[in-house]
């Protein structure tokens, strides 16, 4: 669960978590969010506190945090 425990996940696959907050006049396109933030190897700038994460990775191995 995001935001809880000793080693919570910090890279939820969610645009709201991955794209930093911009000014209200700045529009972030889908392509820009993918190119600039989806592939980053860093914690998301926005935390989805309480989100439940898990499931298989691209090699179908179960992920557990």
Distance CA 13, CA 37 (A): 10
Note the pLDDT tens digit of each residue in 26-52. 777 878 877 887 778 888 888 889 888
pLDDT value at 21 more than 70: yes
pLDDT at 65: 54
Distance CA 46, CA 43 (A): 9
Which helix (H) or strand (E) covers residue 55, if one does?
A: strand 55-56
pLDDT value at 10 more than 80: yes
Tell if the pTM clears 0.85, that is, is over it.
no
């Amino acid at each position: 669960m995001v935001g809880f425990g000793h080693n919570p996940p910090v890279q939820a696959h969610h645009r709201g978590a991955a794209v930093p907050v911009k000014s209200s006049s700045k529009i972030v396109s889908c392509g820009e969010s993918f190119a600039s933030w989806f592939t980053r190897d860093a914690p998301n700038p926005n935390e989805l506190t309480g989100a439940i994460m898990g499931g298989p990775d691209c090699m179908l191995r179960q992920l557990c945090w």
